[in-house]
């Protein structure tokens, strides 16, 4: 199945001609998603530098090719049919500590930021210990845990618009909310983020990081077969951290007993769906739909998905 199979306008060929070393065809996205499911992207590029990202976006937008940017695929459910267009995997690296601020490229692991802060004796990033994924996905989804989120420490970030023009914006621009930012709407691309932390005691920071890693290792799967919590918690000011855990509601509808095809609910956490080895994306989709239906029936609450779907589902 070559490029001409779907390249009706010739745009794919022009993109491939412009970036011969960068663009790959028909790349399975299952390998780039922690669920381990999903079909191929028509075109795929792993972008290593800001210049590469910028010039690729410019050309892709001129050619009007649909595109999506992913990081480490730890919050992603890719459809079995894959993605029609270009998937850009952002693997831009780089980190700089300057006083109490750390600037980190969006393709770095979130955990790299935690480690750098610990090493520099800076406190404020401990909450993110053990959260999978890269900084780009973390900012887009305002990733957090234990009552803190990236928006609490981020002071500015570099972003690229859909045409590849790079600019810097302060935190207010991002309209951060629970697991959300403006980038989910504008579909702009996070290039790097700067966090401002406080001076702390290196030993106590490291101890807190270790403690959180320990708690997480008991609650979360350690192997890549999930995307973390599938549904968002429900905002509720009467609850600890202001949220009613979706996992609690799901427990009460018997989620942990449920499976669909090769997808099942993790036995230690009712809000984590896992691929037991043979799941298709559709299995996971169906199981998620069943969980939503049951929660609506029993609790009158419509669960919102935290995991982002990519491509067309049946």
Ligand X SMILES: Cc1cc2nc3c(=O)[nH]c(=O)nc-3n(C[C@H](O)[C@H](O)[C@H](O)COP(=O)(O)OP(=O)(O)OC[C@H]3O[C@@H](n4cnc5c(N)ncnc54)[C@H](O)[C@@H]3O)c2cc1C
Positions marked catalytic: 179, 229, 306
Are β-strands 83-90 and 40-47 bridged in parallel, bridged antiparallel, or unpaired? parallel
Minimum Å distance from CB 3 to ligand X? 23
215, containing H or E segment? helix 202-219
Minimum Å distance from CB 88 to ligand X? 9
Tokens representing 151?
A: 């928006």
Minimum Å distance from CB 300 to ligand X? 26
One-letter-per-residue 3-state SS of 5-52: HCCCCCHHHHHHHHCCCCCEEEEECHHHCCCCCCCEEEEEEEECCHHH
Q: Is 56:45 a contact under the CB 8 Å cutoff? A: yes
- Of 7 and 193, which has the nearer Cβ to ligand X? 193
Minimum Å distance from CB 97 to ligand X? 21
Q: Is 54:160 a contact under the CB 8 Å cutoff? A: yes
**Rounded to 10 degrees, what is the CA torsion of 194, 52, 94, 76?**
70
Specify the DSSP class assigned to residue 103.
Answer: E
Residues that bind ligand X (CB under 6 A): 34, 68-76, 90, 106, 110, 131-134, 136-138, 140-141, 143-145, 183, 189-190, 220-221, 226-228, 308
- Of 127 and 260, which has the nearer Cβ to ligand X? 127
- Of 90 and 171, which has the nearer Cβ to ligand X? 90
- Of 14 and 304, which has the nearer Cβ to ligand X? 304
């Amino acid at each position: 199945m070559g490029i001409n199979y779907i390249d009706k306008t010739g745009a794919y060929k022009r993109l491939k001609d412009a970036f011969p070393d960068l663009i790959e065809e028909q790349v399975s996205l299952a390998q780039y998603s922690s669920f381990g499911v999903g079909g191929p992207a028509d075109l795929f590029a792993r972008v290593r530098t800001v210049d590469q990202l910028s010039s690729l976006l410019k050309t892709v937008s001129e050619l009007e090719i649909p595109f999506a940017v992913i990081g480490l695929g730890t919050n992603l459910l890719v459809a079995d049919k894959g993605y029609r267009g270009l998937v850009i995997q952002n693997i831009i690296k780089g980190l700089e500590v300057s006083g109490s601020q750390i600037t980190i490229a969006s393709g770095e692991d979130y955990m790299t930021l935690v480690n750098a802060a610990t090493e520099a004796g800076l406190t404020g990033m401990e909450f993110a210990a053990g959260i999978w994924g890269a900084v780009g996905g973390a900012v887009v989804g305002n990733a957090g845990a234990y009552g803190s989120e990236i928006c609490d420490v981020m002071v500015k970030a570099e972003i690229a618009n859909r045409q590849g023009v790079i600019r810097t914006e302060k935190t207010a621009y991002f309209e951060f909310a629970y697991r959300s930012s403006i980038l989910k709407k504008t579909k702009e691309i996070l290039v790097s983020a700067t966090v401002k932390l406080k001076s702390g005691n290196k030993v106590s920071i490291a101890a807190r990081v270790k403690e959180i890693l320990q708690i997480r290792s008991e609650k979360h799967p350690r192997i890549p077969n999930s995307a973390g919590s599938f549904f968002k918690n429900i905002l509720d000011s009467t609850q600890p951290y202001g949220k009613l855990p979706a996992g609690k509601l799901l427990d009460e509808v018997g989620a942990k007993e449920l499976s669909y095809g090769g997808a099942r609910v993790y036995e230690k956490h009712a809000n984590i769906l896992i691929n037991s080895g043979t799941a298709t994306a559709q299995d996971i989709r169906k199981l998620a739909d069943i969980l939503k239906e049951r929660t609506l029936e029993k609790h009158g609450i419509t669960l919102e998905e935290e995991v982002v779907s990519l491509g067309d589902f049946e």
